[in-house]
Amino acid sequence: MHDLIIIGAGPAGLSAAVYAARYNLKTLVLGKVPGGQITDAWKICNFPTYNEIGGVELAKKMLEQAKKLKVPVKNERAIEVKKRKLFDVATNHGRYNARKILIATGTERRKLNAKGEKEFDGKGVSYCAVCDAALYRGKITAVVGGSDAALSSALLLAEYAKKVYIIYRQGKFFRAEPAWIKLVEKNKKIIPVFNSNVIEIFGERKVKGIRLDNGKEMKIDGLFIEVGSIPDEELPRQLGLKTDEGYIIVNKNQETNVSGVYAAGDITNNSLKQAVTACGEGAIAANSAWEKLKKEKGN
């Protein structure tokens, strides 16, 4: 029996775990990706105390802090959550019970849905430049997207590849931070291709090229897709949580419409999806759960 089960092991979930531990709550963290999606980030340049830090390194520090406070973090995927008198959480490895639940599952990478994308996944199509950039030393690559993630991925790839295209459907970069745009514009290896969409990925055993909607064909060795993320709606649906376009609706205390269920991080309908805001939301959620448990215990 746990006071709080946190589903999701990214910045929101791990920050909540730290606060829950300091409140002496019996806590369990379940996460299919320890560290969450920040492990895909090449550099994080807007997290307090660090001028810049790699996503993997930051995630590792967060995990170490939670474990030092003796919060178990299990690499398990929650597949079903039921509310009875208590909450029952089934994972791919076991079953657990808790008085309160925090959903901090973040988001998943959006697919391009282009012809050949599925067939060449892992054979030249990638969704993680941090994971695969080093495989393309001296080769030609392309990134699809115009966000901070897309531009930072292009900059990382430029450290290995001899040429990096950024293919973006708009006429200029406007979603990314000006600092990232400036770095991309200064890098001679990076070539923006505006007003274009990838409609087909082709090759034989691995990617050899792409076709754009303007009829142009480009020879590349690897395609990195950075076109945003979408929330996983399965657990919110099971619990009957109110959502807005798939994102869980929360109040200022990170409470959902279902008593005893909290949400924090990218999975919520809060506007700014950043590691630092996820940490804050996780802290608030843990505090809210603690306050509620105190009242229920009559303390």
Same-domain check for residues 236 and 206: no
115 within domain boundaries: no
19 within domain boundaries: yes
Same-domain check for residues 137 and 283: no
Model confidence pLDDT, tens digit, residues 11-31: 999 999 999 999 999 999 999
Q: What pTM was estimated for this model as a whole?
A: 0.84
| Average predicted confidence (pLDDT) for the chain | 94
| Structural domain containing residue 293 | 2-109+229-297
Same-domain check for residues 176 and 157: yes
CA dihedral 228, 233, 236, 240 (to 10 degrees): 130
Amino acid at 92: N
Model confidence pLDDT, tens digit, residues 27-72: 999 998 888 888 888 888 889 999 989 899 999 999 999 999 999 9
Model confidence pLDDT, tens digit, residues 141-169: 999 999 999 999 999 999 999 999 999 99
**CATH code at position 172:** 3.50.50.60
Same-domain check for residues 17 and 96: yes
User: CB–CB of 142/211 below 8 Å?
Assistant: no
Cα–Cα nearest to 32, from 99, 124, 107: 107
Please calculate the CA angle 192-198-204 and round it to the nearest 5 degrees: 115
279 is catalytic: no
132 is catalytic: yes
State whether residue 193 is helix, strand or coil. strand
Q: 132, 148, 221, 266: which one is catalytic?
A: 132
120 within domain boundaries: no
Q: Residue 122 above 80 pLDDT?
A: yes
**Of the residues 225, 245, 264, which one is the last residue of a structural domain?**
225
Model confidence pLDDT, tens digit, residues 175-200: 899 999 999 999 999 999 999 999 99
Same-domain check for residues 60 and 85: yes
CB atoms within 10 A of CB 217: 10
Q: How many domains does the chain have?
A: 2
Half-sphere exposure of 279 (CA within 13 A, CB side): 13
114 within domain boundaries: no
Q: 45, 88, 121, 128: which one is catalytic?
A: 128
Same-domain check for residues 11 and 82: yes
119 within domain boundaries: no
